[in-house]
């Protein structure tokens, strides 16, 4: 038994060493929009598109932050009222008048959801169609629960223009106030970065692509090049689907594939994307209970696995191997007085905590929470399993009163 346990621990330790050394430095938090202040040399026309469904509680704060952006160029906001029943549009109109910018806000009454579309993307499609009449250079795709820092748009545009990017996105600072938020929300960001290492996303020679839906600035030319929002109309994880479409499109005009790692970038301004963290723009959405966080993760976790039972099985085996084996070995090694197992397990646990610590520090949580990652990973594993169960029961992808049991048949 000792040999088996030690073997599992060595395997777990090997995986962690591989992740830390060769997996895109996913654990770092240095890819931040606000790291360097940039100045705009040109002033592109920008239109924000905000899908809103029953957001009367949050829209006064989020919309106010959008209308009060310090961006000096032409900027308009197109809010799509997605058949709300709580007077979202009325609140939005009141906010625009309160800040003295009613001319910048365009409220669109959403049409009925047609077959083949997810609700959010159908709202975004309607907003883009209306905003296109102003011939914007960029669209800012954002959610109705995001409070933007006053300089957020200016930074996004400067980043896009100066680095010749087609898409710039930031994972906004998620709310982290309650006990459950402090325990589980930083880990959500950590796992996302492990799945999509930001350095790989931002490398034009790496096919890894991702974005964060709360704040995406995309060039109109890039959106047209991929065929518009309709190409991802069924996607439940729409932000990453959009980023993948943009990044893959860079060789479409000449049918050129992704270059080899050391090859020169083939086509400037084709499919270049950037993803980072924001310390100032934040989400207003509260997740102050285990149930709300559980539902948030379970809504799309199985979608992330492409609805594959095989990938689900790999997750159910891999997560315990990576995250649970080290602390279990510490306990078993101490009980059995086998210090080789205990010390190896402790070393693996320390590596895990060191990897998680930068995210904990970014969210200003207690450093001791870095050692709680095994328990957190166990909960996320259960959420993933529940996500699969919900899908099989026809309850998957539920959001805002809509359930998407099978995106292929939307």
Q: Looking at 235-352, which runs of residues are DSSP E strands?
A: 273-283
Q: Provide the domain count of the chain.
A: 2
Q: What angle do CA 375, 405, 128 make, to 5 degrees?
A: 100
> pTM value?
0.92
Convert the pLDDT of each residue in 173-199 to its tens digit. Answer: 999 999 999 999 999 999 999 999 999
Q: Provide the β-strand partners of residue 47.
A: 76, 139
Q: What CATH number corresponds to the domain at position 125?
A: 3.90.550.10
Residues 279, 294, single domain; the answer is no
Using CB atoms within 10 Å of the CB of residue 99, give its burial: 0 to 12 exposed, 13 to 18 middle, 19+ buried.
Answer: middle
Residues 271, 298, single domain; the answer is no
Is residue 119 one of the residues assigned to a domain? yes
> Do the strands 146-147 and 105-109 form a parallel or antiparallel pair, or are they unpaired?
unpaired
Q: What pLDDT sits at residue 265?
A: 42
Convert the pLDDT of each residue in 202-224 to its tens digit. Answer: 999 999 999 998 999 999 999 99
Domain extent, residue 328, equals: 1-27+290-395
Convert the pLDDT of each residue in 225-266 to its tens digit. Answer: 999 999 999 899 999 999 999 999 865 444 444 443 333 444
* Residue ending a domain, choose from 283, 298, 317: 283
Percent of the chain with pLDDT over 90: 86
Q: What pLDDT sits at residue 16?
A: 97
Is residue 404 one of the residues assigned to a domain? no
* Residue ending a domain, choose from 232, 263, 283: 283
Contacts of 36 (CB under 8 A, 6+ apart): none
Q: Is residue 150 pLDDT above 90, yes or no?
A: yes
Residues 123, 212, single domain; the answer is yes
């Amino acid at each position: 038994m000792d040999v088996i346990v030690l073997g599992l621990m060595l395997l777990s330790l090997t995986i962690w060493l591989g992740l830390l050394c060769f997996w895109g430095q996913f654990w770092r938090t240095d890819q931040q929009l606000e790291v360097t202040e940039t100045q705009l040399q040109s002033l592109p026309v920008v239109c924000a598109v905000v899908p809103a469904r029953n957001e009367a509680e949050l829209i006064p704060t989020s919309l106010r932050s959008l209308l009060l952006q310090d961006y000096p160029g032409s900027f308009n906001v197109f809010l799509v009222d997605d058949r709300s029943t709580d007077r979202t549009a009325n609140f939005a109109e009141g906010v625009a008048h309160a800040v003295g910018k009613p001319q910048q806000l365009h409220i669109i009454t959403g049409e009925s959801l047609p077959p083949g579309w997810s609700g959010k993307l159908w709202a975004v499609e309607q907003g883009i169609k209306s905003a296109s009449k102003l011939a914007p250079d960029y669209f800012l795709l954002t959610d109705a629960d995001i409070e933007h820092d006053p300089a957020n748009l200016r930074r996004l545009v400067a980043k896009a223009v100066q680095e010749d990017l087609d898409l710039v996105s930031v994972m906004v600072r998620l709310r982290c106030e309650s006990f459950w938020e402090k325990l589980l929300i930083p880990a959500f960001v950590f796992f996302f970065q492990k799945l999509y290492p930001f350095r790989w996303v931002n490398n034009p020679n790496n096919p890894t692509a991702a974005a964060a839906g709360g704040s995406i600035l995309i060039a109109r030319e890039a959106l047209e090049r991929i065929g518009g929002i309709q190409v991802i109309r069924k996607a439940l994880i729409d932000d990453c689907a959009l980023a993948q479409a943009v990044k893959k499109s860079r060789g479409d005009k000449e049918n050129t594939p992704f270059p080899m790692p050391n090859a020169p970038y083939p086509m400037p301004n084709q499919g270049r994307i950037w993803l980072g963290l924001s310390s100032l723009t934040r989400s207003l959405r509260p997740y102050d209970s285990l149930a709300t966080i559980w539902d948030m993760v379970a809504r799309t976790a199985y979608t992330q696995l492409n609805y594959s039972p095989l990938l689900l099985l790999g997750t159910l085996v891999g997560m315990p191997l990576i995250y649970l084996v080290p602390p279990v070995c510490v306990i078993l090694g101490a009980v059995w007085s086998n210090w080789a197992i205990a010390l190896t397990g402790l070393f693996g646990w320390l590596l895990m905590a060191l990897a998680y610590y930068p995210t904990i520090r970014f969210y200003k949580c207690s450093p001791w929470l870095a050692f709680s990652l095994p328990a957190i990973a166990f909960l996320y594993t259960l959420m993933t399993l529940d996500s699969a169960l919900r899908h099989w029961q026809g309850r998957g992808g539920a959001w805002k009163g809509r359930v998407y049991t099978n995106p292929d048949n939307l």
